Amino acid sequence: MKKILVGVVVYNEGANIKDTLNKFPTHPAYDVIIVDDGSTDETPEYIKEFKYLILRHQVNLGIGKAIKDAIFYGEENGYDIIVTMAGNGKMQPEDIPALVQPILEEGYDYVQGSRYLKGGRKDNLPLFRDIMIKTFTRFTYLLTGFKGTDVTCGFRAYKLNILENPKINIYQDWLDKYELEYYIHYKVLTLGYKVKEVPVAMIYPKEKRGYSKIKPFSGWWSMIKPWILLSLRIRK
């Protein structure tokens, strides 16, 4: 049996995190860890209502740092697979088995969720975000040759042992924000790991304001930066 850890990252999500955690099965085939990245709203009170392990940052350090902490916990406690997801209500726990199955049964190392594949959902996805996702995904195809459909979906699963590769170093300080997820993505695509996409749901709120914490320009640059710096061998 493979040990599976689901890392739920949350920052100032209020009732969204409660709604997300209520959707988890009562007896899942995996463990859950919640990393609260310095929330200053009622989020800490909501997550205390649940039985899951909680790691809390005293201040906001970035999603990359939060995922690193979940990974470090997984490595230290003998987990084989980690699933990463946001606690903002867009990602659905019911999709976790679909992300893990290709690793358990088909020999894949890394599984990327996609809202664009048949069977996926992108309800209420804003038009600008839709255009940016497709543009960014095309850009990454030109760099790596991998014909993915949704490079920005943060709902992923992968074997923790890929991080033992000496060519992968996630504990660099410049990977504490959005860079980390795309650093790992670039590495698995360029180092020969077996990668697959599976359909998942990304349900956006009907109201168009406040649907994302990604800041214009600086947030998107944080996501694009690893692809440029790694492909130019400025970073490694």
**Residue 67 sits in a domain of what CATH number?**
3.90.550.10
Residues (pLDDT < 50) of the chain are: none
Domain of residue 146 covers 4-231
Distance CA 35, CA 13 (A): 12
Residue 37 lies in a domain: yes
CA distances from 2 to 16, 31, 40, 52, 75 (A): 30, 11, 36, 19, 13
pLDDT digits (tens, 9 = 90+) for 65-93: 999 999 999 999 999 999 999 999 999 99
Residues 181, 182, 187: CA angle, nearest 5 degrees: 105
CA distances from 39 to 56, 154, 207 (A): 9, 20, 22
Residue 116 lies in a domain: yes
Cβ atoms of 28 and 105 within 8 Å: the answer is no
Please give the pLDDT value at position 212: 66
Residue 236 lies in a domain: no
Look at the chain and report how many structural domains it folds into. Answer: 1
Please give the pLDDT value at position 3: 98
Sheet holding 31-36, edge to edge: 53-56, 31-36, 4-10, 81-86, 156-159, 110-114, 195-199
Name the residue type at position 84: T
